[in-house]
Structure 1
Amino acid sequence: MTTVTTASYDDLSTVKRRYADGVLTLSLNRPESRNAMSILMVNELLLSLEQAENDGAVRIIVLRGENGHFCSGGDIKDMAAARMQPETAGIDAIAEVNARFGELCLAYARTPLAVIVALEGAVMGGGFGLACIADVALASSSTLFRLPETSIGLVPAQIAPFLVERLGYSEAKRLAVTGGHINAQEALSLRLIHELHVDANALDAAVHANIHKILQCAPHAVAASKALMARARLEAPQALIRDAAAVFSHAARSVEGMEGGMAFLQKRKPSWVAANNEAQ
């Protein structure tokens, strides 16, 4: 069973929000600019994540874009406006805008909730970065990826760590120095995305299929697994043995762990509703 609530989320200025049965879909909604990411959109995405994490019913966030495009990168107008602001008290307006986007990437990369990204059309710059932080990245064959920063005299600053994490140092560096253009098939070969689908209908079906798979898993176990794997990228295996054992023991003794074990023995599906509503 999965968590079913009547929670609702109103649309924001630049983000459409739809909640149903544990899944919050956030659609970037600036179709006139192919969903270019403004500072307002950054703040609305951060607000949406904070509310979802505090909600208790949301288990999955799906990120996608309106009108056939995911995201064409950062909004150049925001940077131009920041450039016009005088530097006062050591505050650099351009750096502040850029750092705020970095906070967005980090927040979605570290969230205990599962994150699915559904990609179509333009996936550029900051949109490319969001694709890299997702737990599950799905794309249609129409998707075109580009890392254009160096071709316009800029640097893929905040997304660099996530590019290296997803693609590896060599491929991330190659794309950065060439102003990378890759199609959906190349993205699949590089493992930037996990699944490639022929059209928007197939992409929607894949989103629902992955939602179903995730909802079969225990929410606290998913969160703990994500946190442990994030550490495993940076720490030697021997340094994690005792901490990993403690994480495993906590899971095994938890309500979720006991429910999962009983469900396995009784040859039935576990009820994560009951487990999720009790202290872990």
Structure 2
Amino acid sequence: METLPHCETLLLEKQGPALHITINRPDSRNAMSLQMVAELSAIFTEVESDSSIRAVIIRGSGGHFCAGGDIKDMAGARNQKAGEGEADPFYRLNRAFGQMIQQVNESSKVVVAVTEGAVMGGGFGLVCVSDVAIAGPTAKFGMPETSLGIIPAQIAPFVVERIGLTQARRLSLLGLRIGAEEACALGIVHQAASSDTELDDMLAHALERVRHCAPNATAETKALLHRVGHESMSGLLDSAAEMFTAAVRGSEGTEGTMAFMQKRPPAWADTK
């Protein structure tokens, strides 16, 4: 990604091997519009083939991560009529978000969510598909859909995968809002910072660890983890052994072993 594309709803900045995405609709607490969904999808499509990017950081501007779906888009869909043979506009709107969040979930890059303020609905879903999630002291998480007479249709499966059915039931069926400490205890986020400075330090440490891990091995490991529970254990372990063999005989495995023996950082750790 030599030239960063222009986006209406996102700010993009590449820092070394990390692409920083800032959701930039502060007037609506970064509510997720159809345009934002399309732009996030386009960015994740582009970074997938960019070997210079190893981590993608998502955060929000104006003190909020993302307050959920955009009410204007909802109103627009209500006023539209499906043409003959076409899906209902609400279906298309909802499903487009689900496709994007699945894409983020399956990205080969390390996805880091840095959360502050409102983390609701679709924003909550984005956090649940991140590999590393960090909460600032102001972060409030919730699944308010049932209190609005709707359902968390596209995020619910990812929430269950993140924290289990029991806790997902409690959060979604009561429409609860919880703080950073409880979100950390439930496993929605991995760390809860007590200050903005600590939040930045936690992010810096996570990105430093990404730099020390081999990019192809990281991508293969993430793909392997996603297969757990969807295949027979015996077949999965057979496949994992084949993946291990290819990795240890490959360039990263050779370099990692030599670097360890020679007591030096491996080549991928030097991104200057």
TM-score normalised to the size of structure 1?
0.93
Q: Distance in 1 between matches of 2:79 and 2:169?
A: 31
Deviation, 1:80, is 1.1
Residue in 2 that maps onto 1:200:
196
Do the aligned partners of 1:8 and 1:19 also contact (CA within 8 Å) in 2? no
2:223 partner letter: A
Instruction: String of CA shifts for 1:61-114, please: whole Å, max 9, x gaps.
Output: 000000110000010110110111112123211100100000111000001000
1:249 partner letter: T
Q: 1:27-46 alignment to 2 at 5 Å?
A: 27-46=22-41
Q: Distance in 2 between matches of 1:176 and 1:236?
A: 30
Residue in 2 that maps onto 1:3:
none
Instruction: String of CA shifts for 1:186-212, please: whole Å, max 9, x gaps.
Output: 101101110010122211111111000
Do the aligned partners of 1:123 and 1:143 also contact (CA within 8 Å) in 2? yes
Q: Distance in 1 between matches of 2:121 and 2:102?
A: 16
1:47 partner letter: A
Do the aligned partners of 2:211 and 2:269 also contact (CA within 8 Å) in 1? no
Q: Distance in 2 between matches of 1:254 and 1:196?
A: 38
Residue in 2 that maps onto 1:85:
80
2:26 partner letter: P
Is it true that 1:159 corresponds to 2:155 in the alignment? yes
Q: Distance in 2 between matches of 1:249 and 1:121?
A: 45
Q: List 4+ stretches of structure 1 deviating above 6 A.
A: none
Pairwise CA RMSD of aligned residues? 1.5
Q: Distance in 2 between matches of 1:37 and 1:88?
A: 25
Deviation, 1:146, is 1.3
1:102 partner letter: G
Q: Distance in 1 between matches of 2:60 and 2:212?
A: 26
2:251 partner letter: V
Extract unaligned runs of 5+ from structure 2: none
Do the aligned partners of 1:73 and 1:126 also contact (CA within 8 Å) in 2? yes
Extract unaligned runs of 5+ from structure 1: 1-5
Is it true that 1:19 corresponds to 2:17 in the alignment? no
2:111 maps to which of 111, 115, 118:
115
Q: 1:52-71 alignment to 2 at 5 Å?
A: 52-71=47-66
Structure 1 SS opposite 2:128: helix
Is it true that 1:269 corresponds to 2:268 in the alignment? no
1:270 partner letter: P
Q: Distance in 1 between matches of 2:79 and 2:241?
A: 53
Query: When the two structures are aligned, how many residues end up with a matched partner?
Result: 270
Structure 2 SS opposite 1:55: coil
1:168 maps to which of 157, 164, 167:
164
Q: Distance in 1 between matches of 2:2 and 2:34?
A: 27
Structure 1 pair 271–25 and aligned structure 2 pair: CA distance change class (3 A): same
Do the aligned partners of 2:145 and 2:151 also contact (CA within 8 Å) in 1? yes
1:159 partner letter: I
Is it true that 1:103 corresponds to 2:99 in the alignment? yes
Residue in 1 that maps onto 2:182:
186
1:70 partner letter: F
2:74 partner letter: M
Q: Distance in 2 between matches of 1:236 and 1:190?
A: 28
2:67 partner letter: S
